[in-house]
């Protein structure tokens, strides 16, 4: 399988001279670096690491469709829809494995029941990172925000744990399982 030119996709959708680019690129770069560190520690193959690099650099591409002016995005969708939009964009690019990660990288995962209960504007299906590559990217993403001034500063494991606590005890249990598996 040929390598994906993820920067060509990013440049097609986000102008390099925009605020959105200055937010997007540092965020996905930091997530990618951390995900690759985990992949190396786990002894993942070169092919798995290359896929993680590509998918991590594209995992948030759906933000191009959201309305978040503070970060330079002027789309029509609420932020949470960057999951569905990212899936759609990457499927249109012919990248179904990358699309799966864009569509499922919601922290530690969210169930269809939680989507319905919270009235989220998402398809009522389980959005959980299932493959090891998806889990590694989702894990790395937990540590980095898109907030200017914090782009390159990772959250500590304690800060991430506190953040996921608001999603319930199951999220905390999953966090601890992933922490034991992926290390920090």
Reported as a single tens digit per residue, the pLDDT across 97-136 is: 999 999 998 878 888 888 898 888 888 888 889 999 999 9
Percent of the chain with pLDDT over 70: 99
Domains of the chain, with CATH numbers? 6-182 (1.10.3210)
Q: Are strands 73-74 and 67-68 parallel, antiparallel or unpaired?
A: antiparallel
What pLDDT is stored for residue 150 in this prediction? 87
pTM over 0.75: yes
Per-residue pLDDT tens digits of the chain, which is 184 residues long: 679 999 999 999 999 999 999 999 999 999 999 999 999 999 999 999 999 999 999 999 999 999 999 999 999 999 999 999 999 999 999 999 999 999 998 878 888 888 898 888 888 888 889 999 999 999 999 999 998 888 889 999 999 999 988 887 888 899 999 999 998 6
What pLDDT is stored for residue 1 in this prediction? 63
| Nearest Cα to Cα of residue 102 among 114, 88, 118, 112 | 88
Using CA atoms, how far apart are residues 102 and 91, in angstroms rounded to an integer?
10
Strands of 39-154, DSSP E: 67-68, 73-74
Phi-psi region of 43 (alpha: psi -120 to 50; beta: other; left: phi over 0): left
């Amino acid at each position: 399988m040929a390598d994906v030119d993820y920067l060509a996709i990013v440049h097609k959708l986000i102008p390099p001279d925009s605020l959105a680019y200055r937010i997007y690129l540092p965020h996905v770069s930091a997530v990618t670096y951390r995900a690759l560190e985990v992949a190396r520690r786990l002894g993942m193959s070169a092919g798995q690491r290359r896929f993680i690099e590509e998918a991590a650099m594209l995992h948030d591409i759906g933000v191009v469709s959201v309305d978040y002016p503070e970060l330079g995005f002027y789309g029509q969708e609420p932020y949470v829809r960057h999951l569905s939009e990212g899936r759609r964009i990457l499927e249109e690019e012919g990248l179904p494995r990358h699309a799966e990660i864009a569509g499922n990288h919601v922290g530690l995962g969210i169930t269809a029941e939680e989507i319905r209960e919270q009235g989220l504007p998402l398809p009522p299906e389980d959005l959980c990172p299932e493959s090891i590559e998806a889990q590694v990217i989702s894990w790395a993403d937990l540590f980095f925000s898109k907030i200017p001034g914090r782009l390159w500063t990772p959250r500590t494991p304690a800060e991430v744990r506190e953040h996921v606590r608001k999603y319930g005890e199951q999220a905390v249990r999953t966090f601890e399982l992933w922490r034991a598996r992926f290390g920090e």
